[in-house]
Each structure stands twice: as C-alpha cells, then as structure tokens.
Structure 1
Amino acid sequence: MTLIRLGPDALRASRFALSPLAETLSRLITLRCEIDGGRPGPQARALADWLDGDPFAAGLLRLVSATKFLPDFVAIPPSSMTTRIDDELAQMRAVGDIAARATIAEARRFAWKSGSFAWADTDGVAACAAAVFARGWQWFTEPDWPRRRAVMERDIRHRAGVLAAHGWRQAISGIGKIRWAGPDAIQFSTQTHADLPVGDQGLVLVPHTGITGQWMCEAPPRFALVYPARGALEQVPVAAEGIARLIGEGRARVLAALADPTTPSQLAVLLGVSLGTVSGHLATLRDAGAVVGRRSGRAVYYERTALGDALSR
C-alpha cells in the first residue's frame, strides 16, 4: 500500500485549495469515460469529434483516463483558493521532454488500456499537453466554473468546520478510500508505490466536482490530494414534487440545495437563478423557521433548521 507520511509540522501547515487544472482533468476523464460507455452526451460527442482529429490529445486522454499513476505534469499541486489556470499551465509547459517522457512511461506501466504511444515522442510534449488542457478548460470547464466552484467551496467549508471541531482525522474521513494508518501516516492507496513524505509545507486538499476519482499531485516538497467533493455537481438534489406543491417550486429547490451551509450567491449559481430570487426565497424560508443564517467573516451561510430537515425528508 502507499502511505502519505506526515512530518512533525505537516498537519499544522496543511490547508485547502482550488485547482482549475484538476477540475479540467476530472471533467475530461468523465467525458472520455462517457465516450467509452457508448452513451455520450453533447459535450462528450464534442470531445470525441476533437479527439478524432487530434492524435496527440486522443493518446494523452486515453492514458490519463486509464492509469493508476498520472503523469506528473498533468497533476500540478495548487497553492491557494485563488489558483489560476494560466499559472498551472505555465508550470506544465516548463517540464522538459526527458522528465515528461519518464513520467509518461511510469503512467504506462500502471495503465489498464494499451494503444499507440507515438504521441509521447512529440517535441515539447508537456507544452502540447498544456495546449490540450487549455482547450479542455475553455470548452468544458470554464463556462460552468462559477457553479463548480460553488460546489467545491461548500465542501471546503464543511471540512474546515469539521477540522475546527474534531481535527484532521475527522475532516479527511469519507474522502474516497483514504484511511489513517497511524498517528503520522495516511493510507492513500492499496497499490504499491513509494511512500510520500509530507514536510513543513503541509498537505494541500483539493476538491473536484466529479462523482469519483482521487489522485496525488507531486512536486516535492509540495504534495496535494485531489478528491471528489461532497454533493458533486451531478448530484445537486431535486426537490420532491409534494414539497414543491406545498411551498412553491423555487423555495423547495432552495431547501433541497441546503444539504450543506451555503451562501446566497453560491445558491444562485448552483440553481441557475438570480441572487434577488434566491434572497427572496431565503427570506420566506427564514421567516417560516425552515432555515437560519449564520455569519462567517463577510459571508452569511444559510442552513436548514430541524423544521427544514423535516420538510426536506
């Protein structure tokens, strides 16, 4: 098994971050799997058309969607909640051909699908990969980035609250197959890879909105763990018809979306309505005792009360 070894100062320096690159990778893998499943939606069909005319992109995405070891240059550790895709792509372009091909060879070793790897002999292979991810971001991630970001921010706020109350062990609980393996180690995988030594730069936790999939981003001494967010984008709940008839469809949708504390602006992007509409529904639900608002810094997070939970059930 593979362990994340935590140094004496690792947990103190650990934190959360967002990564447009990781979200794009998650989205491209999801669409590639839709193509393989034979029932692609409109975006997956657009991706298929692109890959049919671009052997490099086709080979790269075939590899990253079918390996237990991602090439390092597609898994860049982010640093903060304001990470920019341009900065991540710049780091990808800076990887030389020798290093890039070495990590591609390692990914091939752990791949469960074969195919031609002639694409990997391209000069400037990491720069070509950056061009693929730049297009993937522009076509499949950026148009919906506000809604995706809202889902990820809700996950981070939830885990940050658990962290404050119970510590890192509970905050990390429920992330994929992650397990604590002692006071200073986390089991990341049942595969046999070298253990990952996390030092005083800490472990960065990075959510993505896909249903499944977790991976490590490694650029020692920087390490990041990418994991599926709670309430992934495809799982935003739909209000039951009975409640919608009772309190109105708009308010029922807001109530259903408040499975986790959420700001009005996050609700607006999650539900695809205006901030004014959300604020009006929240005011009615608050007056009825179904939701309550709690200030955190400059933001107000709304959550369901016991009455709101009962209505939701």
Structure 2
Amino acid sequence: MVLLRLSSLALSRSRFALSPLAETLGSMSVLTKPCSDPWLLPWYTRHHDAFRAALDADPFAKGLVELIGSTKYLPGYVTLPPSGGMRTALADELAPVAAARDEAVRADLEAAVTHSWQRHDLRWLTGHGWGARTADLFRYTWHTHVVADWPRRRALLERDVSYRAGLLAAYGWPRALQQMNRRSAWVGTDAIRFSHQPGPDRVVGEDGMLFVPVCVTSGTWLSEEPPDRYALVYPARGAAAVDPGRREPERALARLIGTGRAVVLHELARPATSTELAGRLGQSLGTVGGHLAVLRDADLIAGTRVGRRVVYRRTEAGDLLAGQCTA
C-alpha cells in the first residue's frame, strides 16, 4: 500500500489545480481506445480518426501514446505536478518536458514498459531530443484535438473544484477526498492512501499536496517532482453522469415535481452555482433561484458556501428520486 504522508503544515497548504498537460495526456489515451463515456463521445467521434492517422504517420508518437495507454507506470517526465494553480498554462508545463534529457526519458520509458500489461519494445525510440519531440506531440494534440473543447471541460473541472472546496470548508480534507477515485482514501490523521499496490510511502513537502481533476473518467495517477512535490490526478465528478446535450427531463419526474424543477434537479447531477445553472439553462436567476428554494426545502438538494458563492448539489434523496424517475 502506497501512502502519501502530510504534516499539519503540508495539509493546511494543500490545494486544487488544473493541468492542461494532464488533460491532454488523458485525452490521448481516450482517443486510442473505444469510448464508452457519453460526455466525451461527441468529441471522440470528431477527433478519433484524425488522431489515429497522425499517430500512424509518426512512429515515435504512436509508440509513446500506445505505451502511455497500457502501463501502470506513466513516464515521470510527462507527469510533473502543475505549477500555476488554477491558471496553469500548457506552455509552462511543456517547458520541463522539452528540457528532459534523453537518458532520463529512456529510463522512464523502460520503467513504463516493465509495468505494462501489453508487450512493448522501444524500437521507435530513435534519434535524439526525445523530450522536445514529446512536447511537440502534446502541443499538437492540445491545439488540434483538445483546445476547442477546453471551455466546456474547464467549466466541469471548476465545478468539481467548487464542490470539493465546499466539502473541505465544511468538513475537512477526509470528506473532500471521498470518492475522488476508487483507491484513494484518508488513512489515520496524516496520510492519503494512493494505491493498494506495494511501494514506498511518499512524504509531501511543506508546500502541500495538489489535487488535479481531469475529464477522462478513468484517469488517476500520481505526479511527482523530486524531492517532495506531489499531485493526485483524479476524474472530475459528473464527467460521464449526464449527456450535456440533454435538456428535457423524463416525463415521470416532470409530472411529479414540475418541469422547471425537474430540469434543475437533472442539471445538478454536476454541482453548480445558481449563476452557472441560469447560464446553462437559459433562464433568469430569479427563476432558477425559485426552483432551488423549493428543491432545497424538499431536501432534494443542498448548498455549500464557497467564498461568495453557493454551490448546489443533489442530496442522496435527490439522486434517488432522479434515478427512480429515469430508470
């Protein structure tokens, strides 16, 4: 079992961040496999063929992406913790990737091959400047296949951060970490369980831990930068829960609580503020606020204050009602 150990100071300084690099890495893995995520399926359909064609034209890119998508050890030079918080820019993340020395890149890739569940070789690792070539691949994938979808993705990621920040403010880190992924959990008073697999514990530095959501539903990995910087990358809450094009609630729920409130309850499968709901639904703040008040009084939703905002989420009763009426 791998534990991430935090001092009280490190815990107090832990925070959330976004990573275009992590989002791009996860997206590349998605594009090489069949997609079962309804939230990403329209994007996948638009980009899958072109991405595969680009890989087929570049043996280095194809070998690297296929290895990344089939190993339990992601190469360390492409999984460094982001340094820009919620405003991290891809260019800043790619600078150390491009600067990685060839011997360090080869060592990382050999470790990835050792931990892969498929057979790989590194015959595609030819020439030199592998760090720069990797950075070029990530830059191409971001600008060609991800950046147009980034506003939609970023909105979902920010909602996840707002939701967990509300839990953090109200209940502390153990509650904020609940269901972040299938393996992670709070252990005792000073540690996070990252994996059930055997391995050495990590000691998080005094600057604290980073928690980085991504939109791919199977994306979970630990980013490390020696000696003591760590980031836990995890699937954002609600990424695959609802088809984003769907706006009409099921008739049974609408008959029960009214069409307007049914729409709001469905939308809150992903936590949101009243302003976000109004924008997504094309309704006034007053209308949305009225629906929220009724749903809250019925204990179908709850609100958590995060700074000056209130983030609303469905309660267990709300989840149950929505599920029963759409089964």
What residue in structure 2 maps to residue 229 of structure 1?
Answer: 236
The answer on whether the counterparts of 2:31 and 2:51 sit within 8 Å (CA) in structure 1 is: yes
Report the more deviating stretch, 67-76 or 161-170.
161-170
Q: Determine the C-alpha separation between the residues in 2 that align with 1:204 and 1:77.
A: 7
Report the TM-score, using the length of structure 1 for normalisation.
Answer: 0.84
Q: Determine the C-alpha separation between the residues in 2 that align with 1:212 and 1:257.
A: 22
16 and 264 in structure 1: CA distance in 2 versus 1, 3 angstrom threshold: same
* Cα drift, residue 231 of structure 1: 0.6
Asked if residue 241 in structure 1 is aligned to residue 251 in structure 2, the reply is yes
What residue in structure 2 maps to residue 258 of structure 1?
Answer: 268
Q: Secondary structure at the match of 1:4?
A: strand
What residue in structure 2 maps to residue 208 of structure 1?
Answer: 214
Q: Determine the C-alpha separation between the residues in 2 that align with 1:84 and 1:175.
A: 24
Please list the CA deviations of residues 198-238 of structure 1 after superposition, one character each: whole Å capped at 9, or x if unmatched. 12011101111111221011112211000111111x32265
Q: Determine the C-alpha separation between the residues in 2 that align with 1:279 and 1:95.
A: 50
Identity %: 43
147 and 11 in structure 1: CA distance in 2 versus 1, 3 angstrom threshold: same
What residue in structure 1 maps to residue 149 of structure 2?
Answer: 144
Please list the CA deviations of residues 234-270 of structure 1 after superposition, one character each: whole Å capped at 9, or x if unmatched. 322653233457845x76444311235413564477x
The answer on whether the counterparts of 1:251 and 1:285 sit within 8 Å (CA) in structure 2 is: yes
* Cα drift, residue 195 of structure 1: 2.2
1:123 pairs, out of 124, 128, 153, with 128
The answer on whether the counterparts of 2:17 and 2:211 sit within 8 Å (CA) in structure 1 is: yes
Please list the CA deviations of residues 75-128 of structure 1 after superposition, one character each: whole Å capped at 9, or x if unmatched. 120130111111111221121112111111111111111234123334111111
The answer on whether the counterparts of 1:29 and 1:65 sit within 8 Å (CA) in structure 2 is: yes
Report the residue type matching 1:131 in the other structure: D
Counting only pairs closer than 5 Å after superposition, residues 50-199 of structure 1 correspond to structure 2 as: 50-79=54-83, 80-176=85-181, 177-199=183-205
The answer on whether the counterparts of 1:254 and 1:281 sit within 8 Å (CA) in structure 2 is: no
264 and 127 in structure 1: CA distance in 2 versus 1, 3 angstrom threshold: farther
* Cα drift, residue 24 of structure 1: 1.3
241 and 43 in structure 1: CA distance in 2 versus 1, 3 angstrom threshold: farther
Please list the CA deviations of residues 34-66 of structure 1 after superposition, one character each: whole Å capped at 9, or x if unmatched. 28xxx9734222222221112111111111111
Q: Determine the C-alpha separation between the residues in 1 that align with 2:103 and 2:269.
A: 47
* Cα drift, residue 299 of structure 1: 4.3
Q: Secondary structure at the match of 1:119?
A: coil
164 and 298 in structure 1: CA distance in 2 versus 1, 3 angstrom threshold: closer
In structure 1, list runs of 5 or more residues that go unmatched.
none
CA RMSD of aligned residues (A): 3.1
Q: Determine the C-alpha separation between the residues in 2 that align with 1:201 and 1:300.
A: 28
What residue in structure 2 maps to residue 4 of structure 1?
Answer: 4
Report the residue type matching 1:171 in the other structure: A
Q: Determine the C-alpha separation between the residues in 1 that align with 2:321 and 2:65.
A: 44
Please list the CA deviations of residues 136-165 of structure 1 after superposition, one character each: whole Å capped at 9, or x if unmatched. 212332111121112111211221122222
Q: Secondary structure at the match of 2:224?
A: strand
Report the TM-score, using the length of structure 2 for normalisation.
Answer: 0.81
Report the residue type matching 1:170 in the other structure: R
What residue in structure 2 maps to residue 45 of structure 1?
Answer: 49
Q: Determine the C-alpha separation between the residues in 1 that align with 2:317 and 2:72.
A: 45
Q: Secondary structure at the match of 1:126?
A: helix
The answer on whether the counterparts of 2:304 and 2:310 sit within 8 Å (CA) in structure 1 is: yes
In structure 2, list runs of 5 or more residues that go unmatched.
36-40, 297-301
The answer on whether the counterparts of 2:162 and 2:306 sit within 8 Å (CA) in structure 1 is: no
283 and 3 in structure 1: CA distance in 2 versus 1, 3 angstrom threshold: closer
Q: Secondary structure at the match of 1:180?
A: strand
The answer on whether the counterparts of 1:152 and 1:209 sit within 8 Å (CA) in structure 2 is: yes
